[in-house]
A and B are shown apart, each in its own frame.
Chain A
């Protein structure tokens, strides 16, 4: 009987070990969902209420009015964004299609075909992102720092907006923004001399528009 009792005792001990091990394993695994529940934000208390719908007959239609409602006032165009706002294509056409007359000449010669998208693209102007092949600078002389300003130690940046035509020449230079007007002329003079290898779209060189910051500093 002695060995049997010993065996029983051992068996009890082993099963107790197994049970404790299993229980601890289970409890630690239970920690996972409990942790998730604890870290969850508390659910909002939502009460559901039933609402009776009143069946109100629709109001009779208002009597026809003869007079037309006054035309809504045309909205003021938003002030042009100064920074990096890409110009509208048609707007650029206005600026660009003047023939030889400069800005004054062709103010209203809108190229409808280009705007509508079915005209040929040869004369259209593209922004950099529309180009298949990015333009490359061929010749880019640095602007001349006006000596009197250099002596004063003034620094500044001029944002020049310009077009590059199909030959790679810059034209229609405009100062978009500048920190000091004295820098405008030297910047424009420099940009005028720049030469590009024009960007390409569908294999053909096209005009495109660029904006370049030119910084004067010692």
Chain B
């Protein structure tokens, strides 16, 4: 078992190595995709907005000092407003700090995902070039055949890797975009509820 594992690992290294330099680029690209993905995921999930129900939210808005967690902090921040104009400004600021960085990271991730197959294609082209160079310059012996085979395997492996990375990356990115949209919807809902609350308070104050 140990020997076969070792054998498998050796084979793995050969397969990775046959892709040429494009494999390094693909590995870096894949790492960026998944690192970005996880950091976006953990940042959105760390807000804990999924655990704040409608009732809890209304309660926290009524008494901001009771709010807990990031959502409670946000409510405390926006409920410091005295009128509708102010709460609009506060929410703009909140969007700037909460939504914009995630948007930016999502864009980076999206770019990396769409780059992956292109990088594979680039590896294919260089592999084919080396194949043809071997065919043109070789004398047709074993060495030439080895070079041709190496070029072809580089061409195919890089394409395979690019697609293999792009597929889960695409799904992951889609999932994150959905999550982010949910979070944005939550913030928009929070803004409506808080604005209504402030509006009612100002009406009461005017009446008094």
Contact = CB atoms under 8 A, between A and B. Distances in A.
Contacts of B168: 24, 28
Contact of A33 (B11, B33, B39, B46): B11
Contacts of B155: none
A3 B27 CA distance: 35
Give the most central of B15, B36, B168: most A CB within 10 Å: B15
Contacts of B46: 13
Contact of B161 (A17, A18, A24, A32): A32
Contact of A20 (B8, B34, B160, B164): B34
Contacts of A32: 12, 15-16, 157, 160-161, 164
Given A25-B30, A33-B11, A36-B15, A17 B35 contact: yes
Contact of B165 (A22, A28, A30, A36): A28
Given A22-B31, A28-B164, A33 B38 contact: no
B16 A29 contact: yes
B39 A17 contact: yes
A28 B16 CA distance: 12
B31 A21 contact: yes
Given A30-B12, A33-B15, A20 B38 contact: yes
A137 interface: no
A16 interface: yes
Nearest to B29: A25
Contacts of B27: 25, 29
A85 to B, nearest CB: 33
A17 B45 CA distance: 13
Given A21-B31, A29-B27, A32-B16, A13 B164 contact: no
A16 B42 contact: yes
A28 B30 contact: yes
A31 interface: yes
A31 B42 contact: no
Interface string A24-57: 1100111111011100000000000000000000
Contacts of A33: 8, 11-12, 15-16
A133 B15 CA distance: 53
B37 interface: yes
A24 B31 CA distance: 8
Interface residues of A, number: 19
Contact of B34 (A16, A25, A30, A37): A25
B8 A37 contact: yes
Nearest to B165: A28
B61 to A, nearest CB: 26
Nearest to B12: A33
A185 interface: no
A36 B161 CA distance: 12
A128 to B, nearest CB: 30
A80 B125 CA distance: 53
A167 interface: no
A25 B116 CA distance: 12
B30 A29 contact: yes
A14 interface: yes
Nearest to B172: A24
A20 to B, nearest CB: 4
Contacts of B36: 21
A21 B42 contact: no
A106 B39 CA distance: 98
A18 B39 CA distance: 8
15 contacts: A17-B35, A17-B38, A18-B35, A20-B38, A21-B33, A21-B36, A22-B31, A22-B35, A24-B168, A25-B34, A29-B30, A32-B157, A32-B160, A33-B12, A33-B15
Q: Closest 8 interchain pairs by CB?
A: A21-B35, A21-B34, A24-B34, A33-B12, A25-B30, A17-B38, A20-B38, A17-B39
